[in-house]
Structure 1
Amino acid sequence: MSKTKFMGSIGRIFIASFLLCLAVVVIYPLLWMVMNGFKSNGDMLSSPFSWPRELNWQNYVKAWNRGVSSYLTISILVTVTSTLTTILISAWAAYGLTRVAIPFNRLMTTLVLGGLMLAPAVALVPLVKLFQALGLYNTYWALLILYTAFRIPFCTFLIRSYMLDLPREVDEAAEMDGASPAATFWRVILPMCRPIIVSAVVLNVLFTWNEYLFAMVFTSGGDFQTLPVGLTSLMSKNGTDYPVVFAGMVIAAIPVVVLFFASQRYFIRGLADGMGK
């Protein structure tokens, strides 16, 4: 065996070992969470790393009846609405910044992308005062507006990066066929951007689904709590039924896992094409 082949084999073994270790690091916490969701509280505290003696499905029923069902409904409503709004606005903004001749294009691009530099925690206190003054505090609208506003710069950046590489000939062909800019966007450009749109959707869903800070502050003590905030209410200072908490966490994770596996082909392709340009 030549030195080149030997080094190539060593490299493949190293990469395979690294990926295997990475898979264990990612999968084991999820498996541990699922296992503990089936245990009794005593088994969980005495042997947290062992397999459950029996599958206690009642933990999932308890978690569902203790508010996870309403938290799940609110999270789905907020996530779907904010994601659709964010993607539509971001796609329109990216189309305008890349395919339409508008005054001060570079300045507008800088201002939009400058939103990536704004830390949500810095604006927390002024936003609380603003939403209280507008009567939007502790409502669905508070989360919808916040999640949409803070995700538009990032999604615009992704979609704009992808649109920059699309051939201009498709716009010219659509214009020759009599299509307006709006028709060109909906019927030509947007379908061509499907991979990056899917990637932006998945990333936006992950952010909104798991976001805790805004959800905790702007729905404090109300009936509009999302899953990250609602799951904390399952824990009590006087005694926590940990398997029920883990069961709630499993229920919360299932929609995101299903979404990722259903869209992973477009997700990986969109990120590779969009962020690499």
Structure 2
Amino acid sequence: MTLTLHKPTPADAPPTAPATRRGPARSGSAVLRVLTYCGLAALAVAVVYPLCWMALSGLKTNGEIFSDPWGLPAHPDWGTYADAWHQGVFGYLLNSALVTAASVLAVVLISAWAAYGLTRLAIPCSQPALLLVLGAMMLSPTVALVPLTQLLQALHIYDTYWALIVLYTAFKVPFTTFLIRAYLLGQPVEVEEAALIDGASRWQTFWRVVVPMARPILVSAALLQALFSWNEYAFALVFITDDHLKTLPVGLADMAGRLNSDWPMLFAGLTIAALPMIVIFLVAQRHFVRGLSEGFGK
């Protein structure tokens, strides 16, 4: 009995996966990732470094600021921040906090109600109302300074907190309404319908269902309004003349004129003014980014 060995032919060989060239693709992806990280690091430095430089300049003397503007303070003087606080920054901070908090609350509530009505309720003339909201976004605040002055004087709220609160609310409600509406269009209505079937009223549905689901976009709208109210200068300069009612932007400009050449105290005041918004943004940045990405993406 003879055994014969059969040598497999190329046709009998099991198929092999075609060779793929992954080397250049992987290297290109790694290069792109490195370039992305380098760009983000450069952007972070461009944003963070001026803030750090401003905070450190508040600890220097005038001589150190002009002789070595990029160096560290030889003997940090924390008393400069206390002096700036007592020079009027505390009062300006309270005024800005009051106006900002009131305008943020008003804008978020009015915009959320308006967006809910435009997306969930069968109201008459909803499309013209939406076009009116979009048209209001095109208004420039600075071109209306003269008629607004006459209007506020007629309403007897000129040179009061209400002047800024009303204007900050009126000029930002259209944008935040459009933003919240875009977010609500992407949210399922089945949960709201289930709540209505279970006996909840429209008011209860709005507060217990819609508001929790729309929390990211509401936080985004609140932060955008807070940044606008905190840093707005033109309205605060024109419609507020009482020194005790001035907000931070106008108050710091007046303080710069009073201090003349005391740059460390001015930098200390600017640092104190910027700190609240930085802290608030860091705390709420997750909801802010999510709300904007989902709102603008709809």
TM-score by structure 2 length? 0.90
Deviates more, 1:221-230 or 1:159-168: 221-230
Aligned to 2:249: 228
Match of 1:100 among 121, 125, 142: 121
Structure 1 residue corresponding to 2:71, chosen from 44, 47, 50: 50
Q: Secondary structure at the match of 2:26?
A: helix
Distance in structure 2 (CA, Å) of the matches to 1:134 and 1:195: 36
CA contact (8 A) 1:234 1:240 kept: no
Match 2:180 to one of 147, 159, 175? 159
Is 1:110 paired with 2:126?
no
CA distance in 1, matches of 2:170, 2:296: 21
1:269 to 290, 294, 298: 290
Q: CA separation of 1:32/1:66 partners in 2, compared to 1, >3 Å: closer, same or farther?
A: same
Shift of 1:240: 2.1
Q: Map of 1:246-265 to 2, 5 A cutoff? A: 246-265=267-286
Task: Give 1:133's aligned residue.
Answer: 154
Please, which of 51, 55, 60 is the counterpart of residue 39 of structure 1? 60
Partner SS for 1:81: helix
Cα separation, 1, equivalents of 2:232 and 2:297: 27
User: In the alignment, is the contact (CA less than 8 A) between 1:138 and 1:222 conserved in 2?
Assistant: no
Unpaired segments ≥5 residues, structure 1: none
Secondary structure of 2:256 counterpart: coil
- Residue 220 of structure 1, CA deviation: 2.9
Q: Counterpart of 1:104 in structure 2: which amino acid?
A: C
Instruction: Give the Å deviation of 1:221.
Output: 4.6
Q: Secondary structure at the match of 2:255?
A: coil
Detail structure 1 runs of 4+ shifted over 6 Å in the superposition: none
SS at match of 2:187: coil
**CA distance in 1: counterparts of 2:74 and 2:166, whole angstroms:** 46
Q: Distance in 1 between matches of 2:202 and 2:79?
A: 56
Q: Distance in 2 between matches of 1:137 and 1:122?
A: 18
Which amino acid is the alignment partner of residue 256 of structure 1? M
Deviation digits for residues 142-199 of structure 1, max 9, x if unmatched? 0000001011011111111110111121121111011111111111111110011111
Alignment partner of 1:244 is 2:265: yes
Partner residue of 2:96 out of 75, 99, 109: 75
The separation in 2 between residues aligned to 1:240 and 1:201, in whole angstroms, is: 37
Higher CA-based Rg: 2
In structure 2, distance between residues paired with 1:199 and 1:189: 16
CA distance in 1, matches of 2:259, 2:223: 38
Q: Partner amino acid for 1:224?
A: L
Q: Which residue of 2 aligns with 1:210?
A: 231
Identity %: 52
Deviation at 1:45, TM superposition (A): 2.3
Q: Which amino acid aligns with 2:142?
A: A
Corresponding residue for residue 66 of structure 1: 87
Shift of 1:50: 1.3
1:198–1:263 CA contact under 8 A, matched in 2: yes
Cα deviation for residue 238 of structure 1 reads 7.8
**Aligned-CA RMSD value:** 1.3
Q: Deviations over 1:91-113 (max 9, x none)?
A: 00000000111011111111112
Which of the numbers 11, 25, 37 marks the counterpart of 1:4?
25
Q: Distance in 1 between matches of 2:256 and 2:223?
A: 29
